[in-house]
């Protein structure tokens, strides 16, 4: 049991805590209040003069499957042997000893979603994990947490370059539709006892039965509208990943009840799809009532810079409350884990960060990170 006293900071919902005590017990936040009688035999951490936030969440990373400093041998995030590989799982490629996990907890990031890459139209299942541990199965929060798909230039380049479909945006959409239809037919046949198991179609079937969303890499406005068109055609849950040109069609996105992950905005305009990339996307989405999370797309941007991304979003028009929600409760909602993480609430996982001062001042840094009530980083 650990008590953090004199807690001043952000609760994750856009509100603030002042001079509170947070009691952590058996991995959970047991009590929050300003008048808690503490037993004599517990560890007490005085946070006076510091700022406390929920553990940060990065909803779109390749942490553990795209290892830093390893070169091609550490690149386990794109299975490019086929344009559709729904049967692979990020879970099977995560190395919990990837250096990026240390950078995550040093930067206050306690939860991430790890995805296959965007080389394929369908890339495989993703997993949501805590950022500290030695066995990935023991780090899992939600598995699978979505099925990765991708539109645009990446699948065109990777497979079109081999003379295979897709070579166009039409081809990308065609492959995705075909696989969804095959999965529909498979589910119907399985109900009648007419089909043996097929792991590829089973995994797509999880999208059709609303067990998991289809999370689609889509930068340009026309790719975003294609994703929303397919969402309507098949009646599935989707999230827009990157949403670089979302500011061009915010009214249309707002009509479709989708969650959005924006980023990595700190990166360069390295390809045609990023021509209109900028911090302006975030305030426009916010003005239209579209909830979003902010991502680094690690290792495109190093995961320790997630808070720096929030700082840049405030510099460019977001409020601090909205920016922090994009790393906490809205990020948790994006991943469907808001019952566990994303805010400082009684009953939730004790994932907390103590900062040396205001986290929106880049001169301040993380002093302590807690995951499941255990201190996993101390400066």
Nearest to 346 by CA among 36, 19, 6: 36
Query: Is pLDDT at 70 greater than 90 in this prediction?
Result: no
Is the domain defined by 56-341 classed in CATH 3.20.20.140?
yes
- Residue-wise pLDDT for 46-58, tens only, equals 999 999 999 999 9
**What's the pLDDT at 74?**
82
**What's the pLDDT at 352?**
98
User: What's the average model confidence in pLDDT over 13-42?
Assistant: 92
Q: What six digits make up the tokens of 67?
A: 């290892």
Q: Find the helix or strand (DSSP H, E) in which 323 lies.
A: helix 320-325
Angle at 27 between CA 24 and CA 31, to 5 degrees: 30
**Claim: this prediction has a pTM higher than 0.85:** yes
Cα separation, 341 vs 371, in Å, equals 10
**What's the pLDDT at 145?**
98
Using CA atoms, how far residue 171 sits from 74, 178, 221, 338, in Å, is 30, 10, 17, 36
Query: Is pLDDT at 262 greater than 90 in this prediction?
Result: yes
Contact predicate 99/298, CB 8 Å: no
**What's the pLDDT at 71?**
81
Q: Dihedral sign, CA of 63, 67, 69, 72?
A: negative
Contact predicate 91/109, CB 8 Å: no
Phi, psi values for residue 127, rounded to 5°: -135, 145
User: What's the average model confidence in pLDDT over 145-167?
Assistant: 95
Cα separation, 14 vs 178, in Å, equals 42
Contact predicate 365/332, CB 8 Å: no
Residue ranges per structural domain of the chain: 1-54+343-378, 56-341
Contact predicate 309/261, CB 8 Å: no
**What's the pLDDT at 161?**
86
Chain center to CA of 277: 19
Contact predicate 216/241, CB 8 Å: yes
Cα separation, 368 vs 302, in Å, equals 19
Chain center to CA of 311: 18
Cα separation, 94 vs 115, in Å, equals 10
Burial degree of 342 (CB within 10 A; 0-12, 13-18, 19+): buried
Q: How confident is the model at residue 131 (pLDDT cuts 50, 70, 90)?
A: very high
- 67-81, 157-171, 214-228: which has the minimum mean pLDDT? 67-81
Q: How confident is the model at residue 35 (pLDDT cuts 50, 70, 90)?
A: confident
Using CA atoms, how far residue 122 sits from 34, 163, 227, 298, 322, in Å, is 50, 18, 13, 20, 32
User: What's the average model confidence in pLDDT over 24-36?
Assistant: 94
Please state which CATH number belongs to domain 1-54+343-378: 2.30.40.10
For strands 2-10 and 43-46, give the pairing: parallel
**What's the pLDDT at 75?**
85
- Residue-wise pLDDT for 296-312, tens only, equals 999 999 999 999 999 99
């Amino acid at each position: 049991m650990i008590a953090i006293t004199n807690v001043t900071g952000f609760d994750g919902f856009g509100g603030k805590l002042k001079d509170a005590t947070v009691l952590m017990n058996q991995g959970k936040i047991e009590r929050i209040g300003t008048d808690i009688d503490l037993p004599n035999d517990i560890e007490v951490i005085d946070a006076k003069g510091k700022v406390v936030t929920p553990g940060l969440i990065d909803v779109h990373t390749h942490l553990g499957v795209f290892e830093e400093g390893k070169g091609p041998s550490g690149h386990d995030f794109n299975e490019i042997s086929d344009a559709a590989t729904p049967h692979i799982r990020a879970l099977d490629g995560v190395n919990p000893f990837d250096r990026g996990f240390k950078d995550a907890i040093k930067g206050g990031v306690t939860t991430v979603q790890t995805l296959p890459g965007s080389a394929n139209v369908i890339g495989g299942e993703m997993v949501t994990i805590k950022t500290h541990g030695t066995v990935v199965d023991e780090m899992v929060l939600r598995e699978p947490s979505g099925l990765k798909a991708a539109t645009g230039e990446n699948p065109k380049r990777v497979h079109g370059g081999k003379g295979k479909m897709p070579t166009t945006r039409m081809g990308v959409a065609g492959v995705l539709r075909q696989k969804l239809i095959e999965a529909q037919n498979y589910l119907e046949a399985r109900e009648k006892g007419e089909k043996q198991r097929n792991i590829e179609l089973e995994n797509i079937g999880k999208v059709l039965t609303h067990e998991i969303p289809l999370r689609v890499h889509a930068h340009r406005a026309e790719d975003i509208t294609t994703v929303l068109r397919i969402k309507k055609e098949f009646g599935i849950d989707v999230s827009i990943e990157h949403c670089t040109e979302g500011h061009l069609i915010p009214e249309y996105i707002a009509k479709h009840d989708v969650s959005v992950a924006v980023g990595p905005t700190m990166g360069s305009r390295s390809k045609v799809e990023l021509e209109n990339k900028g911090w302006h996307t975030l305030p426009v989405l916010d003005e239209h009532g579209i909830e979003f999370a902010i991502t680094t797309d690690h290792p495109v941007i190093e995961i320790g810079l997630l808070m720096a991304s929030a700082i840049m979003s405030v510099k460019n028009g977001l409020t601090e409350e909205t920016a922090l929600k994009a790393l906490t409760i809205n990020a948790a909602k994006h991943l469907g884990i808001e019952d566990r993480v994303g805010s400082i609430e009684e009953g939730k996982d004790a994932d907390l960060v103590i900062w040396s001062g205001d986290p929106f001042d880049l001169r301040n840094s993380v002093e302590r990170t807690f995951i499941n009530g255990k201190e996993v980083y101390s400066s």
